[in-house]
Amino acid sequence: MPDSLKKKLKLKVSAINNGTVIDHIPSENLFKVISILGLQNVKSQITFGANFESEKLGSKAIIKLSDVFFEDDEINKISLIARNAKLNIIRDYEVVEKRVVEVPDKVIGIVKCFNPKCITNNEEITTHFTVISKNPLDLKCKYCEKITHEDQMVIK
Ligand code: CTP
Ligand code: ZN
């Protein structure tokens, strides 16, 4: 099969003119990514798909946002649940930049504190963690000082 045809068949979601393509999201976390980035408030075109074949992830999801460009600290919020996500910045139909997401130094909201007695699990208080290890992830709670490890992480 010619490469040009392969590429067309691969393109299950239409190309965009200008904006951001978030690729290589684990399929099961697509809707969490949408919610963490607040994409329900975006007024321009959004297309997304899940359960696409991926060599690296087995199954991946993809989100295409027309005319939306993210600041680093905004996009890094998804690093906790889409570690291998790749950002493609599109201008005039061409990929002009590729970026990876990075785990930030602080995590505010998003994750629940593992400690059931923590005030954030008992009152309406936004969680706040310092990242003390990035791989594997270890988050130290500002309120109870307990560590939430990666394998205990629950996304709010
Ligand atoms: N894309 C798009 N609209 C464009 C150009 C690209 O929606 N005008 C999307 C492609 O569908 C792909 C992503 O942006 O999902 C990255 O495009 P490209 O770099 O051409 O694809 P790959 O080489 O497969 O990317 P990588 O292996 O780096 O993920
Ligand atoms: Zn806590």
Query: Is residue 118 a known part of a binding site?
Result: yes
d(CA 47, CA 117): 41
Mutate to test the pocket of ligand 1, among 3, 62, 95 (most ligand atoms within 8 A of CB): 95
Query: Residue 74 belongs to what domain range?
Result: 16-100
Q: Which has the closest alpha carbon to 18: 63, 87, 65? A: 65
Mutate to test the pocket of ligand 1, among 7, 14, 21 (most ligand atoms within 8 A of CB): 21
- 68 and 37 share one domain: yes
Distance of CA 95 to the CA centre of its chain: 19
For residue 121, report the distance from its CA to the centre of ligand 2, in Å: 8
For residue 69, report the distance from its CA to the centre of ligand 1, in Å: 16
CATH code assigned at 140:
2.30.30.20
Query: Is residue 47 a known part of a binding site?
Result: no
* Amino acid in position 117: K
> What is the ipTM for the molecules in this complex?
0.93
For residue 66, count CB atoms less than 10 angstroms from its CB and return exposed for 0-12, middle for 13-18, buried for 19 or more. Answer: middle
- 36 and 87 share one domain: yes
| C-beta of residue 80 within 8 angstroms of C-beta of residue 103 | yes
* Residue 11 pLDDT: 63
pLDDT at 13 over 90: no
- 22 and 95 share one domain: yes
* Residue 74 pLDDT: 92
Total structural domains within the chain: 2
9 lies in some domain: no
- 64 and 116 share one domain: no
Whole-number average pLDDT of the chain: 93
Domain-ending residue, one of 100, 115, 138: 100
pLDDT (tens digit per residue) in 21-43: 999 999 999 999 999 999 999 99
144 lies in some domain: yes
For residue 110, report the distance from its CA to the centre of ligand 2, in Å: 13
Placement of tokens 């809707």 in the chain? 31
Got the DSSP string for 42-107? --S-EEEEEEEEETTTEEEEEEEEET----HHHHGGGGGT-TT-EEEEEETTEEEEEEE----SEE
